Amino acid sequence: MLTRTGSRTGSSRREVRMNVLGLSCGFATEREEMGENWPISLSHDSASAIVRDGTVVAAVEEERLNRVKHTNKFPEKGVRACLEQAGITPRELDGIAFYWTEAELDKDLDLVYAERPRQPRKYTRELLTERLSEALRHDIDPALLHFVRHHTSHASGSYFHSGFSDALVVVMDGRGEKESISVMCASGGELDPEPVRTYGIGQSLGFFYRTAIEMLGYGLFDEYKVMGLAPFGDPERFRKHFERLYELTPDGGYELDVDGVLPYFLDQGFHPRAKGDPFTQDHKDFAAGVQGALETIALHVITDAKKLTGHSRLCLSGGVALNCTMSGRILHSGLFDEMFVDPASHDAGASVGAAHHVGAAQAPRRYRPAPLSHAYLGPSIGGDQEIERSLSHWSALVDVRRTSAPAAEAAALLADDKVIGWVQGRSEFGPRALGNRSILGDPRSPANRDRINAIVKRRESYRPFAPATVAEEAARFFDFKEGMPLRYMVASVTVHPEARDVLGAVTHVDGSARLQVVEREHNPGYWELITEFGKRTGIPVVLNTSFNNEVEPVVQSVEDALTCFLTTRLDTLFVGPYAVTKREVGPSAYLSLSLRLPPQVSLEWTRESDTGTPGQGRYALRFRLTDGRAEPLSHRLGWLLQNAVYPLTVRDLLAQERGSATGGERAENGTERLLAEIVELWSRRMIVLEP
């Protein structure tokens, strides 16, 4: 039974709606060191959600708010944002759902404490209660906490969002508590939490894929890159080699040698790619082989699961479900009449699923969620006055103009081959940008693929961009099987052969595309933009990619969007009803901006004796979390940052340089170089510049 934090004056029990907070996260806050010992592979993609009577009213990934990709920090910002979006106080929470079992988490904490023997030992329930009470400034009753099996959390999100009454529900990821795949059944609007079949961690398709791609210079969170590389290779080249690493059994089972992938291919003379090196054809063929093996095993499991359960509908979730090529193959296999892939199939989405599970357990016969109709569940950019106020702070660098027709103006710019940022309303929940935090371009010219990769994303040139089209026109350009909502960009479909030349920037090398179908009722502004572009060009399709560069999460706020806009070569930014363009400014325009280091970045000094360089040591800024990347600094800037007293402006910082330099020309040249270095570090998100 769920427990309340307190009574609600003036309302009867029957009149009060049930609010469940869902969480997926680690336990350390941004201010604590413990998080650096908490494995990112164990807990990642922290998120918060509020589910009210079966409806998701708010959901946000913490990375959007703390600006650390795949963060595993406790989502204190997200919890507060979700409560604000839901319009409730902590007192109105009826339950708090966590996406993992308490016993398993306590075991993981023991391993963390073993590495830090002096740290006081606190376990899951105590830690979560403390974190929530601190974040919300409200004493949380530990009895509110409910712990949900990891795969049940994934399955509940997918099933309750699908709108299906009866369905086969399959979860595939790296690992749950003791399993990597769970096959479950739902009937009559209820999900049976007891799986009909599970596959052990030693059979993990997630771990298999992640281990294999190390041969390509990739690692955790890079799986989608290899999925994009695979169509450039020949899947037959290494098929027999991969088949030696797994064995399918007639009953839907399989054996998989996850640990044997690397030594086996090294014994075969395969040369791994070092990170940053070019891809050889061997590497492309290897990627195709990995993808082919994944699809073969997944289809084997799902085909047998259908025979076992007899269900004609499929719900799919877990991190492996985000492999849209695999999902597209299942969709087009004809195995199921209908199919639903949760748009937040990764661990962030388990926050929503855990909340659904707890809500359904409280009222199983009355729990009838409406199908998920959109993923715009995050915080809003605010009202027009709030947007205008935020934009006005950057007036030294941008010109802002209110427009009565942002969609038509944006469409005209796209038709003129401009690349724009498009930020509207509430942010998307999940890893895909679906038109509210997007970069948009003309989908027709293949050159736009390389151009946008270069001017904004600074990523591998082979990686494809996605098309977005309106529902009324989708069948004109794309071949897809009915029975699955394609509004979430979770499955690859085929571009009609006659449309491939027309859609050169969004058609992948194999003729596929990761399609988003936009419905007017769910996103009228985005629908109007695509329609207006179609009126001008005859092609109601736009190129859509996430609004971020290669080192940051997707933008959330107006300030995030402006930072990305000003540090890339985007042409125009649309935020709500405002069109934003860059002013022609000199370096002096940056002098009035405030400068600081983000909390996740530290300044490091390597002594001369360690570097072997006569005369001086070396400075660098290091991103302490997730990827651990470091950016070397000039000795002068490193010294200035080391001796800076924050807060200060760029002008204050450079005044120290001018004061210590000898000769006006040297000071002037030094200042220009330092300004250029500061702006580049800003673009790499190693420092923060703000009004």
* Helix (H/G/I), strand (E/B), else coil: 70: coil
Give the amino acid at 569: R
Give dist(CA 326, CA 230) in Å, integer.
12
Beta bridge partners of 400: 580
Q: Which residue has the tokens 């009722």?
A: 521
- Nearest 5 degrees, angle CA 327-CA 499-CA 430? 35
State the maximum Cα–Cα separation within the chain, in Å, rounded to a whole number.
83
Give dist(CA 14, CA 8) in Å, integer.
12
DSSP code string of 638-649: HHHHHH--SSEE
* Helix (H/G/I), strand (E/B), else coil: 508: coil
Query: How is residue 432 written in tokens?
Result: 């895909």
- Nearest 5 degrees, angle CA 452-CA 230-CA 245? 150
Q: Which residue has the tokens 């699961």?
A: 305
Query: How is residue 181 written in tokens?
Result: 């795949």
Q: Which residue has the tokens 């350390």?
A: 28
Among 44, 154, 161, 356, the one annotated catalytic: 44
DSSP code string of 183-251: EEEEETTEE-SS-SEEEEGGG-HHHHHHHHGGGGT--TT-HHHHHHHGGGS-TTTTHHHHHTTEEE-TT
Query: How is residue 25 written in tokens?
Result: 């996260």
Give dist(CA 685, CA 221) in Å, integer.
19
Establish whether 161 is a catalytic residue: no
Give dist(CA 59, CA 237) in Å, integer.
43
- Nearest 5 degrees, angle CA 19-CA 316-CA 332? 140
Sheet with 618-623: list strands edge to edge: 601-606, 618-623, 630-633
Query: Any residues with CB less than 8 A from the CB of 147 and at least 6 apart, and which?
Result: 97, 98, 100, 101, 102, 105, 124
Tell me the residue length of the chain: 691
CB-based contact 427:529 (threshold 8 Å): no
Query: How is residue 662 written in tokens?
Result: 């000898």
Catalytic residue ranges: 44
